[in-house]
Amino acid sequence: MSVLDSKVPKGPIKDKWSNYKDHINLVNPANKRNIDVIVVGTGLAGGSAAATLAELGYNVKAFAYQDSPRRAHSIAAQGGINAAKNYQGDGDSTYRLFYDTVKGGDYRSREANVYRLAEVSANIIDQCVAQGVPFARDYGGLLDNRSFGGVLVSRTFYAKGQTGQQLLLGAYSAMNRQIARGKIEMFNRHEMLDVVLVDGKARGIITRNLITGEIERHSAHAVVIGTGGYGNVYFLSTNAMGSNATAAWKIHKKGAFFANPCYTQIHPTCIPRSGDYQSKLTLMSESLRNDGRIWVPAKIEDAKAIQQGKLKPTQIAEADRDYYLERRYPAFGNLVPRDVASRAAKERCDAGFGVNATGEAVYLDFAAAINRYGKEQAKIQGISNPSEAKVYELGQAIVEAKYGNLFQMYEKIVDENPYKTPMMIYPATHYTMGGVWVDYNLMTTVPGLYCIGEANFSDHGANRLGASALMQGLADGYFVLPYTIGDYLSDDIRTGKIPTDTPEFDEVEKAVKDKIDFFLNNDGTKSVDHFHKRLGKVMWEKVGMSRNAKGLTEAMAEIKAIREEFWKEVKVPGSGNEMNLELEKAGRVADFLELGELFAKDALVREESCGGHFREESAETDGPQKGEAKRNDKDFAFVSAWEYKGEPADAILHKEELEFNDIELKQRSYK
Amino acid sequence: MNLTLKIWRQKDSKTKGQMVDYKVTDISEHMSFLEMMDVLNEQLVNSGDEPIAFDHDCREGICGMCSMYINGEAHGPDRGVTTCQLHMRMFKDGDTITIEPWRAKAFPVIKDLVVDRMSFERIQQAGAYISVNTSGNTQDANSLPISKHAADEAMDAATCIGCGACVATCKNSSAMLFVGAKVSQYALLPQGQVEAVDRVKNMVAQMDLEGFGNCTNTGACEIECPKGISLENIARMNREFLKASLKG
Ligand SMILES: Cc1cc2nc3c(=O)[nH]c(=O)nc-3n(C[C@H](O)[C@H](O)[C@H](O)COP(=O)(O)OP(=O)(O)OC[C@H]3O[C@@H](n4cnc5c(N)ncnc54)[C@H](O)[C@@H]3O)c2cc1C
Ligand code: SF4
Ligand code: FES
């Protein structure tokens, strides 16, 4: 048997969570006052966890590298959050959300976790409304919904194009209330650089104060990691510049298994890159696929003319456009899941039909939506025979009300008016389904060490559906971890404060300091970004949207070589006892250089296509699904959990076999 | 294009700072302002100098980290954008660009262009929340209909990213636009009513404690605010404050 124990409770799936809650150990309020919990990260996951644990009475220490918890990258989420409220009466239910998520994840997630997620989803919306989150409403004053990819119901709640911002401000306000009460001690501009284990249990962390450079020790009875995803391993992604894998990777090196690193989401609707100086990519929310139609020219000569700037998209007749998603997937059309949409865009662009100078872009067109809404409005407003201009004006107003901030963002970056000419989009790295392995309790393979939000390997299997990350982050933080951690901490009521003047802390702190000294004294010749960009290029080309054994083997060797050169040649100016942004980056890139190799290794071992992981060797060769990804349930229905053994290439694979009792395994079809 | 940059350099909060000149060449008009700064920093690192410290994270105008005072304007010459969304097409070959940190007593400089905005944190801790536990035992979200108009207006106020451009722009370094937006978000929603009196009083008291200046209705903040937060929010906060004072 595997050393992995998922600790999924017994019983029928719909009773598991309530039975579990009824039978766990609780910590009484007086004892909670004697228990400290460290929460690293203040995004939706960490922020909601910190606030809830403090409300329950634990002493919480929370950490973020930004200057305020509210600036965590969750702030950038645009489109929305799912919940099985069935407010639209369109047949939604807990089961359906559960089913869609497992199917969307291409049957590579743990059923029991996903069911629990679907179960608590409705509570999230209640909670957020009570906190004052200004979700969009209809004219009757009730909450509005929209649809996201991969589903046939409208279950996504949103606050304009700034849902993540509003949800995070909600969690942040709950944190502020606890900071004011002294129940959360907030450490802004602090970066966790390692975890400290005492007798095999997580009992503290070592941090660097990013203003003074001071290395600090913090102890607690349990440590929670909610530090987000590792998409920046690609250098270019939609993540924030500071998003990093350091906390997750450091705990991996201390015994936490790392699961499914190769499951990465390449999001189909991002603004294409424009030049080598590019520092990050910008997402255009998936919600745009509710109304935008994706196309490329049907004729190769039109595509060439567009690439050379000789033809404009608006000059191409309707009949000469290839709405390839509608063509290939009539049932879901433009709302197929992200992995499918991204590969379809790549397929068209690889075939030469891309629409900007680089040939790496497709159109997202709102003309039809503007026309449709315009006509509808004209009718509502009783305007008979409206002119084309009037229809356009009315339609534009509706589109603007729905997506105004996204259109503005696009125009600021690309310098083109997306109301007048179609947007150009291309896939970009966006989210990482892989992450630290956790059991049903969200505990890692290290006792007392928890991992929540995007940082864990989570509930999304091999592909996350839109609007499900926000749901998972808040579910973990508000509703799951507060129960499961109590069960663990009930053993610690007599432990007393964990001292920091112990050999365990000495040792880890020394290692952290030595590493910093190494960087500052290394006298290399190349900047940190130089290496990060090279790593990103290998990742994108060989471990990107489409992968094969040869490319992956090369990638492992190339990443290793870059890593070795990095340690010889990296140059970090400045000193350690001050704000030093290059030093911060150096530590993060060092970890990406290890994670990247494990990522490629994981992709190599998984000789099947599933979700965001597409192996060219594993595609349907004929029939109606020709060219589509081919999953191999017989050999690969497991979670890959990697144990650290020094070099990333030496990591040991442990398998958590996935059981599907409530959902039948099927080929995912969106046709 | 080729540009001359005059940038504020300051080692730490205790050391005096000064403007230093730099040159950058071959800047593309499609670059963002921060990508131009990346080019300069790469240049500095390669020549063994310390790069310029500046705050930034999301680079898409939502986290509120970036904060540069460019040619005498918070977030630079474009309107409705943060520094990270400013593009080089707003400048032309041969330009000299002056780059400074936010300047306000309540925002001390930490290093170069990075300032300390903890004063904003403390103002929010003073009352920018609704005292409801995150237990999940709240009532069904739709049991409390809220007019679309109120919800939209609350949303407009809630889009404030807490960047501090309003303070940096104001000749009095007043934080009224920021605090007005925070107070308004709750004042516009039924959930915010229960604690309305204490909220506005405590937040305004904290704002005064932090050393922000008074508002003299110049309106510069509204013009420079990247998120279009309107002066109406200040008026609303004043009304809330008056109401709260009358209630004692
Ligand atoms: C542009 C964009 C749009 C998105 N839109 C949607 C959407 O519409 N719907 C949806 O469901 N999902 C969306 N997602 C995904 C979703 O936003 C994220 O997966 C989710 O917000 C992650 O939350 P988190 O709490 O796990 O991590 P984050 O929000 O990334 O927070 C990480 C936290 O960890 C801290 N941290 C990191 N490293 C350290 C360290 N070493 N030491 C100390 N602190 C550290 C950071 O300071 C931060 O507080 C989007 C993602 C992006 C990038
Ligand atoms: S009101 Fe505007 S300028 Fe002031 S902090 Fe908020 S977003 Fe920034
Ligand atoms: S970097 Fe986030 S708003 Fe500019």
A151-199 pLDDT, tens digit each: 889 999 999 889 999 999 999 999 999 999 999 999 999 999 999 999 9
Indicate if the pLDDT at residue A294 is higher than 90. yes
Between the CA of A663 and the centroid of ligand 3 the distance, in Å, is: 43
Q: How many CA atoms lie within 13 A of B147 on its CB side?
A: 4
Identify which of B28, B124, B151 has the shortest CB distance to residue A134: B151
Distance CA B194, CA A134 (A): 17
Residue B191 contacts A, CB cutoff 8 Å: yes
Is residue A319 within 8 Å of residue A295, measured between CB atoms? Answer: no
Which of 318-337 (A) contact B at CB < 8 A?
A: none
* Residue A146 one-letter amino acid: R
Is residue A426 within 8 Å of residue A295, measured between CB atoms? Answer: no
**By three-state DSSP, how is residue A238 classified?**
coil
Domain assignment present for residue B121? The answer is yes
Cα A489 from chain centre: 29
Residues having CB within 6 Å of any atom of ligand 3: B 56-59, 61-66, 82-84
Annotated catalytic residue within A155, A338, A464, A547: A338
State percent of chain A over pLDDT 90.
Answer: 91
- The token duo for B93 is 């070959």
Domain assignment present for residue B190? The answer is yes
Q: Which CATH number do you get for residue B155?
A: 1.10.1060.10
Is there a single domain that holds both residue B124 and residue B229?
yes
Q: What's the domain range around A98?
A: 13-263+433-492
pLDDT in tens, A400-441: 988 888 898 899 899 999 999 999 999 999 999 999 999 999
User: In chain A, how many domains are there?
Assistant: 3
Distance CA A531, CA A303 (A): 35
Q: Which CATH number do you get for residue B48?
A: 3.10.20.30
Pairing between strand A184-187 and A59-63? parallel
Put simply, the answer to whether B63 touches A279 (Cβ < 8 Å) is no
Is residue A335 within 8 Å of residue A268, measured between CB atoms? Answer: no
Element containing residue A540 per DSSP (H, E): helix A528-542
Residues 6+ apart with CB under 8 A from A30: none
Distance CA A36, CA A165 (A): 29
Average pLDDT over residues A276-303: 93
Indicate if the pLDDT at residue A1 is higher than 60. no
Is there a single domain that holds both residue A56 and residue A135?
yes
Domain assignment present for residue B225? The answer is yes
Sign of CA dihedral A583, A584, A585, A586: positive
In chain A, which residues have their Cβ closer than 8 Å to the Cβ of B45?
A: 527, 571, 573, 582
Which of 194-233 (B) contact A at CB < 8 A?
A: none
Is there a single domain that holds both residue A85 and residue A232?
yes
Distance CA A616, CA A338 (A): 18
Of A76, A65, A271, A241, the closest CA to residue B35 belongs to A241
Domain assignment present for residue A667? The answer is no
In chain A, which residues have their Cβ closer than 8 Å to the Cβ of B56?
A: 241
- Nearest chain B residue to A176 by CA distance is B125
- Closest protein CA for atom 10 of ligand 1: A467
Q: Which ligand is nearest to the CA of B179?
A: 2
pLDDT in tens, A622-645: 888 888 899 999 999 999 999 999
Q: Is the CB of B74 under 6 A from ligand 2?
A: no
- The token duo for A627 is 């060219």
Put simply, the answer to whether B142 touches A279 (Cβ < 8 Å) is no
Residue B126 contacts A, CB cutoff 8 Å: yes
Between the CA of B62 and the centroid of ligand 2 the distance, in Å, is: 11
Is there a single domain that holds both residue A449 and residue A408?
no
Is there a single domain that holds both residue A442 and residue A548?
no
Residue B120 contacts A, CB cutoff 8 Å: yes
**Residue A2, pLDDT score:** 58
Atom of ligand 3 nearest to the CA of A71: 2
Residue A533 contacts B, CB cutoff 8 Å: no
Residues 6+ apart with CB under 8 A from A92: A84, A85, A86, A153, A154, A155
**Residue A319, pLDDT score:** 96
Distance CA A247, CA A194 (A): 7
C-alpha distances (whole Å) from A582 to each of A115, A215, B44, B58 are: 43, 17, 11, 18
Domain assignment present for residue A646? The answer is no
Distance CA B175, CA B234 (A): 10
DSSP letter at A435 equals: E
Domain assignment present for residue B139? The answer is no
Average pLDDT over residues A455-467: 93
Of A568, A548, A562, A546, the closest CA to residue A594 belongs to A562
In chain B, which residues have their Cβ closer than 8 Å to the Cβ of A211?
A: 110-111
Is there a single domain that holds both residue B232 and residue B122?
yes
Distance CA A194, CA A207 (A): 7
Mark which of A492, A518, A543 sits at the end of a domain.
A492
Is there a single domain that holds both residue B56 and residue B100?
yes
Higher pLDDT, A492 or A405: A492
Q: Is the CB of B183 under 6 A from ligand 2?
A: no
DSSP letter at A464 equals: P
Domain assignment present for residue A346? The answer is yes
Q: Is the CB of B234 under 6 A from ligand 2?
A: no
In chain A, which residues have their Cβ closer than 8 Å to the Cβ of B114?
A: 579
pLDDT in tens, A142-162: 999 988 877 889 999 999 889
pLDDT band at A390 (very low <50, low <70, confident <90, very high): very high
Element containing residue A590 per DSSP (H, E): helix A581-605
Indicate if the pLDDT at residue A330 is higher than 50. yes
Is there a single domain that holds both residue A239 and residue A299?
no
Indicate if the pLDDT at residue A668 is higher than 90. no
Domain assignment present for residue A452? The answer is yes
Residues 6+ apart with CB under 8 A from B200: B127, B183, B187, B237, B240, B241, B244
Q: Which CATH number do you get for residue A550?
A: 1.20.58.100
Is there a single domain that holds both residue B124 and residue B83?
no
Chains A and B: how many Cβ contacts under 8 Å? 214
Is there a single domain that holds both residue B76 and residue B176?
no
Atom of ligand 1 nearest to the CA of A47: 25
Distance CA B76, CA B98 (A): 10
- The token duo for B163 is 């960047």
Average pLDDT over residues A552-580: 97
In chain B, which residues have their Cβ closer than 8 Å to the Cβ of A188?
A: 118, 121
Identify which of A48, A123, A527 has the shortest CB distance to residue B46: A527
Which of 24-63 (A) contact B at CB < 8 A?
A: 48, 51-52, 55
Domain assignment present for residue A328? The answer is yes
DSSP letter at A477 equals: I
Is residue A154 within 8 Å of residue A467, measured between CB atoms? Answer: no
Burial of A347 by CB count in 10 Å (0-12 exposed, 13-18 middle, 19+ buried)?
middle
Is there a single domain that holds both residue B81 and residue B122?
no
Cα A462 from chain centre: 12
Is there a single domain that holds both residue B121 and residue B90?
no
Is there a single domain that holds both residue A453 and residue A569?
no
pLDDT in tens, A333-386: 999 988 899 999 999 999 999 999 889 999 999 999 999 999 999 999 999 999
Domain assignment present for residue A596? The answer is yes
pLDDT in tens, A221-261: 999 999 999 999 999 999 999 999 999 999 999 999 999 99
Indicate if the pLDDT at residue A580 is higher than 60. yes
In chain A, which residues have their Cβ closer than 8 Å to the Cβ of B139?
A: 126, 130
Place of tokens 């919904």: A145
Distance CA B86, CA B74 (A): 11
Is residue B201 within 8 Å of residue B147, measured between CB atoms? Answer: no
Burial B35-71 (b: 16+ CB within 10 A, else e): bbbbbbbbbbbeeeebbbbbbbbbbbbbbbbbbbbbb
Residues having CB within 6 Å of any atom of ligand 1: A 40-46, 63-66, 72-74, 76-81, 163-164, 191-192, 226-229, 238-239, 243-244, 246-247, 283, 285, 430-431, 453-455, 467-470, 473
User: In chain B, how many domains are there?
Assistant: 2
Cα B232 from chain centre: 17
Is there a single domain that holds both residue A306 and residue A438?
no
Q: What's the domain range around B78?
A: 3-111
- Nearest chain B residue to A569 by CA distance is B46
**Residue A118, pLDDT score:** 98
Global pTM exceeds 0.95: yes
Put simply, the answer to whether A413 touches B85 (Cβ < 8 Å) is yes
* Residue A223 one-letter amino acid: V
Residuewise pLDDT in 10s, chain B (248 residues): 999 999 999 999 999 999 999 999 999 999 999 999 999 999 999 998 999 999 999 999 999 999 999 999 999 999 999 999 999 999 999 999 999 999 999 999 999 999 999 999 999 999 999 999 987 778 999 999 999 999 999 999 999 999 999 999 999 999 999 999 999 999 999 999 999 999 999 999 999 999 999 999 999 999 999 999 999 999 999 999 999 999 86
Put simply, the answer to whether B129 touches A177 (Cβ < 8 Å) is yes
Q: Which CATH number do you get for residue A219?
A: 3.50.50.60
Is there a single domain that holds both residue B161 and residue B106?
no
Is there a single domain that holds both residue B102 and residue B127?
no
* Residue B132 one-letter amino acid: V
Atom of ligand 1 nearest to the CA of A163: 8
Place of tokens 């003074």: A212
Domain assignment present for residue A559? The answer is yes
Mark which of A409, A429, A449 sits at the end of a domain.
A429
Put simply, the answer to whether B111 touches A578 (Cβ < 8 Å) is yes
Asked about A203 being catalytic, the answer comes back as no
Domain assignment present for residue A642? The answer is no
